[in-house]
Amino acid sequence: MGASTCRQCGATVLPGDVYCGECGTRLSNVGVAASAGVAGTSPSSLSELAPGTVLQGRYEIVKRIGGGGMGNVYKAYDRNLDQALRAVKEMMEMFSDPAQREKAIEDFRREAKLLANLKHPSIPIIYDHFIEGGRYYLVMEYITGGDLATRLRQAGGRFPEPAVTMWAIQVCDVLDYLHHRRPPIIYRDLKPANLMVDPEGNRIVLIDFGIARTVAPQQRGVTAIGTMGYAPPELFSGEVEPRSDIYSLGATMFHLLTGRDPRDRPLLIFDFSKSPTPRELNPEITPEMEAIIMRAVEYEPEKRFASAREMKQVLEDHLRVLETERPEEMERAQRIAFGQLVREGTPEHIRRPAAPAASEPSPGSPASSHPAIETVFCSNCGVPIGVEDLFCAFCGARQPISLDYGRSAAAKLLVLEPQSGEIRGTYILDKQTSLIGRMDPVSGIFPDIDLSPYDPESKISRRHARVWYEKDRFFVEDLGSVNGTVINGTLSLPPRQPHALKDGDVLQLGETQLLFREG
């Protein structure tokens, strides 16, 4: 059986994977949860620790927050330090091959040793490591802001240039620190999923040092481990060096700015004679930033930046130019770069209540597009925000205001019965921008137009499309949905490409049909 895709985020997963490596979703129901509250529990090799499980008589598991096929990462409380939050990373004993088992244990121990000897604002602090119940554990600093892969998906597939520049400067700083250790440390797996945002410290944090290596000058034959698309060509011939990390940073910046995942065409994506340049994919990128990215991902290491320090200086100079030429964008960029990822603990006064059963539309009855009170969910990414926020603290989007059409009837989307064409529900388009999708309280996504009642098989993505009003017209764009957006049965919209709507257009999202009526 070949590779498949994660049902949650669409990332590629391989046979035998238990969890998605990008979003942490369990790919199959395996194992049984460990008994809660018992120190020294010996759960089955693939089970997930239950909330309340206590490790070492000290670390109380709150919930699973990520992980992959070899283990999980948990949010936990430290009972000995006034319930301080910690991240607990585990590795399970699940290898039938002794060589694979020994290598995994070696990588895990190496990560603990590396982190214990490193001190930098962009490297997580390690507090403890131990073995319990046949599993290896690392206790680390808990970072609240989420990783860039998650933030990228919820932001619609792209970030603005100033925010990416801010992140890249900090990544260069930590790479410079690692590369100047004696011997140098090469990280080797730089990608959005391994970069987390710490809103409290306004910093980017590099996580997962499991395959980082200390490499002596001119050392060859280093094991080729990395992520296809982000890993430089020389990594696969065993000639890893500091400029290998510069390539991976360039690939990461390319992904964050264009929305194009390097894993989709790992062998050709940075051959710009055969593939689109960054500005061809996103014309909003400046020529200067395009040049920075293209230099970082040069095939030959000698043509890249000579060091992370040099690249950092170029990025800092570029950021100063952006601050001068685009001052109005900088506050928004700061909010995007280091704003809190709102997923849990949302205050009750800004939490949208679940729709009661009685409010769900029945065939032939109209459905309201949003509560009567002022919305408190971002119309761009759908996460909860403060009721008076002008910008979303997560994606930075300016919040829409109600439209003043100057006429009695606003535009609307009518949900159609596929066979008969009868109207099943109505959504009024009375905001400048409306997010269309499927509500997901677990992920904190609450679209303005929630099509969940008409989508029993979940063919509509959580952030499927958006409709907005500009220059006296309505536009629609697909947000990179899994099953696409089709206009009038013939035109399949490319992701992130605006399409002007006309009265009478029929939009198909998954298997749900919407009739656009204006006036």
Report whether 445 contacts 150 (CB < 8 A).
no
C-alpha distance from residue 201 to each of 197, 267, 312 (Å):
9, 37, 20
Report the alpha-carbon distance of residue 88 to residue 103 in Å, rounded: 21
Can you name the CATH fold of 148-338? Answer: Transferase(Phosphotransferase); domain 1 (1.10.510)
Judge whether residue 447 has pLDDT over 80: yes
Average pLDDT over every residue of 11-17: 55
Q: Which residues are catalytic?
A: 189
Percent of the chain whose predicted confidence (pLDDT) is above 70: 71
Residues 78-111 have pLDDT tens digits of 999 988 899 998 876 555 567 766 777 777 777 7
Report the alpha-carbon distance of residue 280 to residue 459 in Å, rounded: 30
Question: Range with the lowest mean pLDDT among 24-28, 204-208, 224-228?
Answer: 24-28
Q: Which one-letter DSSP state was computed for residue 70?
A: T
Domain with CATH 1.10.510.10 in the chain: 148-338
Judge whether residue 231 has pLDDT over 70: yes
Answer with the residue of higher pLDDT: 450 or 209.
Answer: 450
Domain with CATH 3.30.200.20 in the chain: 31-141
Q: What is the mean pLDDT of the chain?
A: 77
Report the alpha-carbon distance of residue 16 to residue 69 in Å, rounded: 8
User: Please, how many CA atoms are within 13 Å of residue 225, restricted to the half-sphere of its CB?
Assistant: 13
Judge whether residue 266 has pLDDT over 90: no
Q: Could you tell me which of 41, 134, 145 has the C-alpha nearest to residue 87?
A: 145
pLDDT of residue 310: 98
Q: Which one-letter DSSP state was computed for residue 10?
A: -
Three-class HEC string of 369-434: CCCCCCCCECCCCCCECCCCCCECCCCCCECCCECCCCCCCCCEEEEECCCCCCEEEEEECCECEE
Can you name the CATH fold of 362-519? Answer: Tumour Suppressor Smad4 (2.60.200)
**Position 295, amino acid:** R
Rounded to the nearest 10 degrees, the angle between the axes of helix 242-258 and helix 308-325 is 30
Would you state the structure tokens that stand for residue 133, as one six-digit string? 């119940």
Domain with CATH 2.60.200.20 in the chain: 362-519
Report the alpha-carbon distance of residue 7 to residue 10 in Å, rounded: 6
Residues 192-201 have pLDDT tens digits of 989 999 887 7
CATH number 3.40.50.720 given to 31-141: no
Judge whether residue 150 has pLDDT over 60: yes
Select the highest-mean-pLDDT range: 129-143, 153-167, 239-253: 239-253
Report whether 75 contacts 62 (CB < 8 A).
yes
Q: Could you tell me which of 428, 339, 433 has the C-alpha nearest to residue 386?
A: 339
pLDDT of residue 379: 57
Percent of the chain whose predicted confidence (pLDDT) is above 90: 37
